[in-house]
Structure 1
Amino acid sequence: MSRFLSNATNRIDAKGRVSVPAGFRAVLSQRGIQELYCLQDFIFPAVSVGGPDLLDRYERQIASVDPFSVEANRMSLLVHGGGVFMRLDAEGRLMVTDFIRDFTGISTEVTFVGRSDHFQLWQPQAFHEAQAAAREGRSSSRPG
């Protein structure tokens, strides 16, 4: 399987590292991803994590509009100003930096959430609330 699916919550260790779930590490390995592009989500209090192809996708979108436009500049502020490159350590752990903590509210645990071609880092309660709201939104939009 070459997609990020499901979710899992792991505790941050005393040195500020968290183990990326084995299934997510397997997808990274299958895709040959070693350098991670991490981006503050546009809607949710989450950090999206993927390979360089994730950054490439956003940069193609920016390149499709006038580079001097307000839209291109706003997108660049989000994509470039809200993104960093990171790497997993030899044991498959990710450093939970202030970049991640400040944007997400993560303190002691991280919920990893599969999003098909990338995954996200969430504060556990925020994820459960967002998922419940999404489920509620889906059920209220169904025909009766």
Structure 2
Amino acid sequence: MNRFLSNATNRIDSKGRVSVPAPFRAVLAQRDIQELYCIQDFVFPAITVGGPDLLERYERQIGQEDPFSPLANEMSLLVHGGGVFMKLDAEGRLMVTDFIRDFTGITSEVAFVGRSDHFQLWQPQAFHEAQAAAREERRLRGLRSN
């Protein structure tokens, strides 16, 4: 499978590292992603993580706009000003930096959440609350998760 699916919560070690779940590491290896593009999500208090192709997708969207337009500038502010490149260490761990902690509220645990072609880093309780709210919203609209 070459998609990021499901979710898992892992503890941050005393050096500020967290192990990326094995299924997520397998997808990274299968897609030959060596460098992770990490961006502050546009909607949720989460860090979106993908390969360089994720950044390229956002940059294609920016490139379709007039480079001097407010929209292009806002998009660049979010995509470039709210993004960093990171790498896993040799044991498959990611450093939980201030960039991640300050935006998400993560302290001692990280929820890894699959989002098909990328995954996200969440504070576990915030993830569970957002997922429950999304489920409730679908229920109220009469949609089922079949």
TM-score normalized by the length of structure 1: 0.99
Amino acid at match of 1:47: I
Distance in structure 2 (CA, Å) of the matches to 1:58 and 1:4: 19
Query: Which residue pairs with 2:89 in the alignment?
Result: 89
Q: Secondary structure at the match of 2:90?
A: coil
Q: Distance in 2 between matches of 1:132 and 1:126?
A: 10
Percent of residue pairs bearing the same amino acid type: 82
Which consecutive segments of 4 or more residues in structure 1 shift more than 3 A? none
Whether 1:63 and 2:89 are equivalent positions in the alignment is no
Query: CA shift at 1:72, angstroms?
Result: 0.2
Shift of 1:142: 1.2
Matched, 1:129 2:111: no
1:35-74 matches, within 5 Å, as 35-74=35-74
**Unaligned 5+ runs, structure 2:** none
TM-superposed deviation, 1:124: 0.2
Q: Distance in 2 between matches of 1:141 and 1:56?
A: 35
Gapped runs of 5+ residues in structure 1?
A: none
Give distance in 1, aligned partners of 2:133 and 2:79.
Answer: 26
User: What TM-score do you get using the length of structure 2 for normalisation?
Assistant: 0.97
Distance 1:43 1:22 in 2: 27
Q: C-alpha displacement at 1:80, in angstroms?
A: 0.2
Aligned: 1:141 with 2:146: no
User: Aligned equivalents of 1:20 and 1:58: distance in 2?
Assistant: 24
Could you tell me which residue of structure 1 aligns to residue 8 of structure 2? Answer: 8
1:26 is aligned to 2:26:
yes
Q: Deviations over 1:86-114 (max 9, x none)?
A: 00000000000000000000000000000
Residue 96 of structure 2 corresponds to residue 104 of structure 1: no
